[in-house]
Amino acid sequence: MHENINRKWWKEKVVYQLYPRSFKDTNGDGIGDLKGIIEKLDYIQSLGIDVVWLNPIYESPNDDMGYDISDFRSIMKEFGTMEDFDLLLKGLHSRGIKLIMDLVANHTSDEHTWFKESRKSKDNPYRNYYHWWDADKGKPPYRWSIFDKESNAWKYDATTNSYYLHIFSEKQPDLNWENPEVRNAVYDIMKFWLDKGIDGFRLDVIACISKDISFPEMPKDMPVGEWFPYYTQGPHLHDYLQEMNREVFSKYDCMNVGEMSFVTTDNALLFVDEDRNELQTFYHFDHTGARISKENFMYADDDNWDLVAWKKIFYKWDKAFAEKGWGTIYLGNHDMSRMVSRFGNDSEEFRTLSSKMLHTFLLSMRATPYIYNGDEIGMVNTNHTNIENYQDVYTINYYNQLKQKGEDHDGFLNSHAKISRDNGRTPMQWNDTAQAGFTSATPWLAVNENYKTLNVEEQESDPDSVLNYFKNMIQLRKKNMTLVYGAFELVDEDNQQIFAYTRQLENDKFLVILNFSDQTAVLNTSIEINENNILISNYKQPHHNNVYSPMHQSFIN
C-alpha cells in the first residue's frame, strides 16, 4: 500500500515526553525517580504512545534541573542508579516502547571533571574543551546570557585571569566543539548509551554547538530576532552534524530530534534532507511566540494571539517538508507553560473541551507528535505570583536582577506567571490523595491545587475524560496512515476562530475542524460534511449547518 510514501518507523511514532523530576517519587524525598517511572510503566503503556523521551537523568548539581551535567555516564543520585535505569529500559522495551534520552552537548556543568580541569591552568589538557577569553586582551565582546544573574554570558575566573563563555547559567560553561577531542568525547557518550540499548536522542540546543569563535562585537540594541549569528548555527554546524551522523547515527537504527533555534523554512532541509546525512527531525519555535510579548519574551501578552497567523506558521512548515525531510509537532514541554493554558482555554468551563481539541490537532498533523506528560489529562498552569513558589533558575535570576536594579520585579512576576517554565513542571497529578499521589513528602515544586478534581485516577474511570479521548485519538492516528503521511491543506484559512484542514492520501480524506474560540463559529467550506462520518468529537451533539460550538472539534472521514 501507499507505494509513493517514504515510510520510516520514527515518522509513525507518537512520543511522550516525560519529566522525571515530577513524574513519581518512590523514596519520599519529594523528587521523582526512575523507580517511580518503573511503577507507572503500565500507565505509560496504556496511553498507546510508542516512544518515551526522558529529560536529563544524568548526574547533575541541578542548577538548571539536569541540563547541567557533571557526569554523562552516571545517573543523578536523586533519580536512582544505573540498575534502576537498566530495569526501566527493559520495562519499556518489553512493552514495545522505545526510549530516547536528552543529549546536552553544548555545555556541561561547571562541576564536570572536564571543566574543573580546564579552569586549573592555561596549559591543562582540558583547557581547550571550553571557550576561554584571556583577560589580558581586555573584556570579551558582550554576549547576552539567558540564565545569568547579570545577563552576561562571560564569567571572569581569577585562577587563570580569563573569562569563560556560558550562554546559559554560569554553571553551564559552553563546550568548544572546534576541538575534535570534545566532539569525539561526545560521540563516545552517545555510543555508550546506544550500546546500552536506548533508541535515540533529543539533542539539546544543538544549533548552538558551532559558534563564530572570533566572537565579533554585537551591534548595540540589536533586536532579539536578529541575534542568531552571534549564538547559533555557526560556520561548522553542518560539518559537525554530518560527522555525528557518520560516527554515531549511521551505526544504529535510532531516532533523533534536534532542538533548533532560529531555523527557518528556507534552511530547514539543510538539516533534515536525508541525502545530507545530518538529522532526521528537529523542532522549531515559530508557533511558541503566541501570547508572549513581542518586545520581551520574558513577559506574557494575552493579546498576541492571531489564529490566522498561527495557522499559516503550521502551513508553511508542513510545506517545507512536503517532498523531503520530516517535521515534529508539539504544544507543550518542560520549557513552556501548560498547553491548554497557552494555546487553548483553561477555564473550568472549557478546559476539558479545549484539551481534547488540542490533542486532536497534535495527533492529526503531518509530523511526529510530541506529547508532554500531564497534557494527556489536561493539566493547567499554576500562575504563581510569589517568587517563593519558583525553582527555575531562569525566573529567579531575572526576578532578582530586576529587583537589584530597582525595576518592577512584581510586575514581571505577575506577567511571567502565565508563561513560566515551572507551570509545566509541577508534579503529575495521579489521584486525589495528598500531593496528588506524587510523593509522601513535600514535593520539590508545589502540586497544582486543582489535583483533587484533575487527576489520572479520576480520568481513567471517566469515558469522557481528556485522558480517554487522548487514547482514542492515538488509536485513530495509528489505524490511519493518512493521518501520518497524508497531504495537509487548510480549509477556510482566513477564518479567525476555526482551524480546519484536510489530510489526504490517495482517495482517503479526512477533514479536521477545530474551533479555537470561546464563541460559536461558522466554517465556510464547500466540502460536504456528512454527520454520520464523524470519527471523533468532543461534543455529543453533532454540529449543524457548519456552525460550531466553542472549543468544538470534529474529526471527519
Going by the DSSP 8-state scheme, the letter that residue 276 receives in this structure is G
Which string of x and - marks every residue 92-131 that binds ligand NOJ (by CB under 6 A)?
A: ------------x---------------------------
What is the nearest approach in angstroms of ligand NOJ to the Cβ of residue 392? 9
Contact in structure between 384 and 341 (CB atoms under 8 Å): no
The catalytically annotated residue of 63, 84, 259, 278 is 259
Which residue's CB is nearer to ligand NOJ, number 199 or number 204?
204
- Nearest by Cα to 355 from 335, 336, 332: 332
The grid coordinates listed for 332 are: 507543550
Number of H helices, E strands in the chain: 15, 20
What is the nearest approach in angstroms of ligand NOJ to the Cβ of residue 208? 9
Which residue's CB is nearer to ligand NOJ, number 53 or number 193?
53
What is the nearest approach in angstroms of ligand NOJ to the Cβ of residue 78? 17
CA 328 to CA 317: how far, in whole Å? 10
Q: Are strands 98-103 and 71-75 parallel, antiparallel or unpaired?
A: unpaired
Which residue's CB is nearer to ligand NOJ, number 153 or number 205?
205
The catalytically annotated residue of 110, 174, 199, 204 is 204
What is the nearest approach in angstroms of ligand NOJ to the Cβ of residue 185? 18
**Residues of span 299-338 touching ligand NOJ by CB under 6 A:** 334-335
What is the nearest approach in angstroms of ligand NOJ to the Cβ of residue 132? 20
- Tell me the C-alpha to C-alpha distance, in Å, between residue 56 and each of 88, 102, 544: 15, 5, 48
- Tell me the C-alpha to C-alpha distance, in Å, between residue 485 and each of 9, 102, 383, 493: 12, 27, 38, 21
204 is catalytic: yes
Count the residues of the shown chain that bind ligand NOJ, applying the rule CB under 6 A: 9
What is the nearest approach in angstroms of ligand NOJ to the Cβ of residue 398? 13
Which own/partner contact pairs does 430-438 have at CB distance under 8 Å and 24+ positions apart? Answer: 430/24, 430/455, 430/456, 430/457, 431/455, 431/456, 431/457, 431/458, 432/457, 432/458, 438/22, 438/23, 438/24, 438/25, 438/32
- Please pick, from the candidates 53, 163, 168, 516, the single residue that binds ligand NOJ as defined by CB under 6 A: 168
Which residue's CB is nearer to ligand NOJ, number 78 or number 204?
204
Which residue's CB is nearer to ligand NOJ, number 397 or number 455?
397
Which residue's CB is nearer to ligand NOJ, number 259 or number 375?
259
CA 485 to CA 300: how far, in whole Å? 35
204 binds ligand NOJ (CB under 6 A): yes
Contact in structure between 69 and 108 (CB atoms under 8 Å): yes
Which residue's CB is nearer to ligand NOJ, number 25 or number 204?
204
Residue nearest to ligand NOJ (CB): 67
- Nearest by Cα to 333 from 398, 403, 272, 284: 284
As a whole number of angstroms, the longest Cα–Cα distance in the chain is 76
What is the nearest approach in angstroms of ligand NOJ to the Cβ of residue 106? 7
Which residue's CB is nearer to ligand NOJ, number 40 or number 425?
425
What is the nearest approach in angstroms of ligand NOJ to the Cβ of residue 424? 10
Position 395, amino acid = T
153 binds ligand NOJ (CB under 6 A): no
CA 512 to CA 534: how far, in whole Å? 10
Interior/surface letters 393-407, b for 16+ CB within 10 angstroms, e for the rest:
bbbebbbebbeeeee
- Nearest by Cα to 343 from 291, 414, 286: 291
**Residues of span 247-286 touching ligand NOJ by CB under 6 A:** 259
CA 469 to CA 376: how far, in whole Å? 9
CA 323 to CA 286: how far, in whole Å? 21
**Residues of span 22-81 touching ligand NOJ by CB under 6 A:** 64, 67
259 is catalytic: yes
Binding residues vs ligand NOJ (CB under 6 A): 64, 67, 104, 168, 204-205, 259, 334-335
Give catalytic residue positions. Answer: 204, 259
